[in-house]
Amino acid sequence: MADELRSHNVMRGTAEYVLQIGYVHGDVTVHLPPAADPVERAAWALARSIRTQWSAELNAWDLASAEPLAVRWRADWPELRGGGGPGGQMARMADVFLGLGHRRLVVLGGPGAGKSTLAVLLTLELAERCLTARHAPRDGGGGEVRPPVPVVLTLESWDPSREHFRGWLARRIAEDHPGLPRVDGDHPAARLVQDGLVLPVLDGLDELPAHRRSLVVREIDRALGEKDAVVLTSRTREYRAGEEAGAAIARAAVIEAQPVGLEDATAYLLRSAAPQVRRSWKLMLDAVDREPEGPVAQALTSPLMIWLARRGFQAPPADPLDLVRRPFPSREAVERYLLDLIIPAVFTRQPHSPDRLHAPSQWNPGRSRHWLAHLARHLTGRRTTEFAWWDLHRTALVRVMLLPALALVCLALSQVAAVARDWFVSSQAGDPMAGWGLELALTNGLVHAMAVWIAVDMWFGFRLGRPRRRANPFRIGAALRSAGRAASLGRGLKASAVVALPAGLFTAMVVGAHDARPYVVMVVCSTVLAPLVMVTIAAPSDTEDASTPDEVLGSERTAAWLSVGTVAVLIGVGQGAFGWYVYETVGAALARGVTAWFGAAAMLLLMSLWSRWLLAKGCLAIAGRVPWSLMEFLRDAHHGGLLQRSGGVYRFRHLRLQEHLADTERGDAPAALPYPRDARPSPYLRPPESAAASAPLPRFRDALAEFERSPLGSLKGWTVHHDTHGFSAEGRSRRLSLAHWPVILFLAVMVFIRSGVQGNWLVAAGASLAMCGFGVLIMLVHWLLPPQAQALRLTPAHIEFRMGRHRGRLAWADVQSVAVRKLIHRKRDTKVYALHVLPRPGAPAPARYFRGGDGWFFVLPLSTRATVPVDVAAALRNFAGSRWQEPPDFRVPHAGQGTVHIHNEVSGQARTEGVIQAGHVHGDVTFGRPGGPHGTGPDAGQDVRAGQEPPWRPPEGRQP
């Protein structure tokens, strides 16, 4: 509406429409507001989505109260010395954070101290400021400061050995918020990260395995620029341990949660208690106040335990006085009791809602605990904290059931083919070729559907294995635009070749036929229209809101049925046209079309994530490990505050709850998650004789890890020479080819299905085994080829490396870092680790053959674990110096830890805790002195007898 409208048709103000009646005399002046920057508009949309997402999470956690629990924090940064640190007011916390010289904050605390809750509350405060200060300058000029958009992410999904921090951050934003306004036709995530408009709020550092924490912190610190901001949460002990190892966020402010005072806990519990239980709360808290050092009072210093107590005793018949009536021996016993209490409190028996199959609280508490315990054990076994429904089929029980399920599908296909063949052959006066035509149509349907799936998967960069919210396929134009933005020229050409080359060959074969129309129809329907429709169905959504697990699952289900109803139909139409050409009857066309449609529909459903989810859920539900309505159960657990949602996955709201459910259900003692590798007994160390008989054998994977740390010189085919002038290792390795197995297995399954639908099960099994044997033969032939030469040489001046006929060399002055990373060769994950070097900017790069990714170049392939032989590690410490980033889980046993019982000779020098002679030591053990950072000096080459102190000291800052 206009602010002012005068009689002379002059309007000042803001109006959506202006209507002039009559003739216009003079000029019409229109002052339009400045056009919004596309990047700023995308940042504003992201902030709105973040606010909506995490406001819903706070409501689910029952933390949207106007007076939350007061948690006191101790600040450790220069700007607030002498102050008490930020309190419970998020506005002040945001002001302090934005006023830091470097907006980097580390939030520490014990288990259940409220770290994640503080991160979410700070995220909401900053997101609200982003929305209200939309047009404020970023640098703070002119008064109001516009903060970066906070994005809460868990570090579980980041592998720093494969992906740069900025790349991972942009990828997660694009996956969780696919519909942000485009910038120059592309998703704005990369631009938002590049322009510093995103504040990563990183949660779950302490939930990572011990060998990954230091690497993750180092890579984050290395990726942060001068003006980049970050918020990181972690348990105090885990972060301090990494800090002692040199892994910390530079120039970061640190706050640490303090125990909640008994007065604050009492005020909060009484304020939030229901009227019918408030008297019991008062009596219980008075009793606790009389014993401030008791186990109950100690347990109620944790915000998590206070929340559990509040939820557990929210309504009768639960009585808070049970906390003082029961004789708890320790604080841990009180905490376990409260953790056990939360599930019956969330899943109480309430009347059914007429609109739902199960009311939110209608689940049996005992069975609910059993189901949640199974999910906790599943996550613990996979060393993760994120439950993704599309990964549920990876459990052992479901994998065992995959083969019977495939057999049932083959049986169903064979029955359909048999019924169609009998009906059609009888209608064709016993023509024996009629049945063969239906079998061929079924096989063509399977093969064409598989080709379409592979082409679409290549189009989207092999992303169909991870679901995402899909675009509306009925809005064809928008879906095609979304599919075009999600692809690239190279992937598009490869995907087109998958369907175009077979179609071109088939067309060339039928050129000259007296009637090519049925062939043209089959080619157009199966290789042109079907892939186009499939691309439209698989296109990502353009919605700005974050995806939820239910929305992602519903999108996958819709996409699966749409592919059956459109893509499979097009393939069936193409085969039906061919049947019309051969027999010139409607029945022949229908028979071939329906049979091909059935085969294509079966293949598309089998390849979909939704069918794998159904198989996994069905198997686990029959075994009693999960409910049949699993997603509804998870949704109710989320509404009850037990789980949280993030990017289409569920997580236990607190790691402590996951640990408790997994441990108590299994009957084991509580243990940290994930289990640190160094907590397991090393197979190198022989236990004392008194415990040797009862000591458990080392696990296979741990024994394999210790074997992979063995000196490179002890391996067959390798020669190692190490002195004060350099380290050289030469050897030959045989290559074991595995690249042919996907094609072999695909063809074997196709042969098995085709023979099975004819009832020839023996032929099907024999042909499939023969093809698998052919794959094994290819491996053996490849193994018998001449081994590939490899070499690595380290000197005080440079590093040299060789792989076959490819050679490389870099001066140490041109090397920025040396580390063990995942080997990404020619944009393909090889599933093995390798020693990599990172050249400095502007330095000459090695040959393209050695290119690994993110600017790194591999120099020596190692193994399937992030470890390195001890002699190579010692040489890298000696010659690479501070450039060498030792794997966090790499350990060399200290002398005196036990008797080492491997039987290998170690030639060379080990510059760490010493050279360890396996088994009983016969004779002398000598240590060659490196004599300085590069192994030179007046004392180089001096020997020290075993049991004597070596005459050299380790580098500055390293303890022997």
Yes or no: say if 546 and 152 are a contact pair by the CB < 8 Å rule. no
Distance set, CA 823 to CA 244, 707, 815, 866, 870 (Å): 29, 20, 18, 11, 20
Domain spans in the chain, listed from the N-terminal domain onward:
45-257, 262-346, 362-427+623-680, 433-607, 708-735+785-960, 741-780
Q: Read off the pLDDT of each residue in 426-445 and give the average, rounded to a whole number.
A: 65
Whether the predicted pLDDT of 861 surpasses 70: yes
Return the sign of the alpha-carbon dihedral for residues 643, 644, 649, 651: negative
> Who wins on pLDDT, 846 or 778?
846
Q: Note the pTM of the prediction, 2 decimals.
A: 0.58
If one compares 699 and 103, the residue with the highest pLDDT of the two is 103
CB-side neighbour CA atoms (13 Å) of 694: 2
- Reduce the DSSP state of residue 860 to 3 states and report it: strand
Mean pLDDT to the nearest integer, 601-617 = 87
Q: What distance in Å separates the CA atoms of residue 844 and residue 836, rounded to the nearest whole number?
A: 15
| Spatial separation of the C-alpha atoms in residues 675 and 654, rounded to whole Å | 17
Question: Which residue do the tokens 């989810």 mark?
Answer: 613
At residue 34, the pLDDT reads 63
CB distance 70 to 87 below 8 Å: yes
Element (DSSP H or E) covering residue 664: helix 655-666
Q: How far apart are CA 391 and CA 412, in angstroms?
A: 26
**Taking the mean position of all CA atoms in its chain, how far away is CA 959?**
35
Within a 13 Å sphere around the CA of 561, how many CA atoms are in the beta-carbon half? 5
C-alpha to C-alpha distance for 592 and 590, rounded to whole angstroms: 6
Mean pLDDT of the chain: 73
Residues 6+ apart with CB under 8 A from 775: 740, 741, 744, 745
The b/e string for 309-340 (b: 16+ C-beta within 10 A; e otherwise) is bbbbbbeeebebeebbeeebeebeebbbbbbe
* Residues 77, 79: Cα–Cα separation, whole Å: 6
Q: How large a percentage of the chain has pLDDT more than 70?
A: 68
* Three-state DSSP state, 504: helix
Report, as an integer, the average pLDDT of 413-424. 69
Please provide residue 236's backbone torsions phi and psi, each rounded to the nearest 5 degrees.
-60, -50
Q: Which position has the higher pLDDT, 672 or 772?
A: 772
Of 87-91, 367-371, 418-422, 683-687, the least confident: 683-687
DSSP summary character for residue 682: P
Report the alpha-carbon distance of residue 642 to residue 343 in Å, rounded: 8
Which range has the top average pLDDT, 79-88, 409-418, 776-785, 938-947? 776-785
Using one digit for the tens of pLDDT, what is the confidence trace for 538-590? 776 555 445 678 778 888 888 888 888 888 999 888 888 877 776 667 777 78
Side-chain-side CA neighbours of residue 26 (13 Å): 6
CA nearest to 165, candidates 886, 858, 854 = 854
**pLDDT tens sequence across 863-872:** 777 788 888 9
Q: Are the C-beta atoms of residues 375 and 387 closer than 8 Å to each other? A: yes
Res. 938 pLDDT band, cuts 50 70 90: very low
Q: Which of 871, 860, 880, 847 is nearest to 820 (CA)?
A: 860
Task: State the pLDDT at residue 74.
Answer: 80
Residue 802 pLDDT: 92
Q: What are phi and psi of 880, to 5 degrees?
A: -80, -25
Give the helix/strand (H/E) hosting 570: helix 568-583
* Cα end-to-end span (Å), the chain: 77
* Higher pLDDT, residue 514 or 784: 784
pLDDT for the residue 261: 79
Write a three-state SS string for 692-738.
HCCCCCCCHHHHHHHHHCCCHHHCCCEEEEEECCEEEEEEEECCCCC
Question: 686: pLDDT confidence band, cut at 50, 70 and 90?
Answer: very low
Q: From 136, 111, 317, 351, select the one nearest 233 (Cα to Cα).
A: 111
Residue 835 has pLDDT above 60, yes or no: yes
- Which top CATH class is 45-257? alpha beta
Percent above pLDDT 90 for the chain:
5
| 4, pLDDT greater than 70 | no
pLDDT at residue 800 greater than cutoff 90? yes
Greatest mean pLDDT among 82-91, 195-204, 642-651, 653-662 lies in 195-204
Q: What is the mean pLDDT of residues 163-178?
A: 87
Range of lowest pLDDT (125-129, 483-487, 940-944):
940-944
Per-residue model confidence (pLDDT) at position 765: 80
153, 179, 159, 161: which is closest to 48 by C-alpha? 179
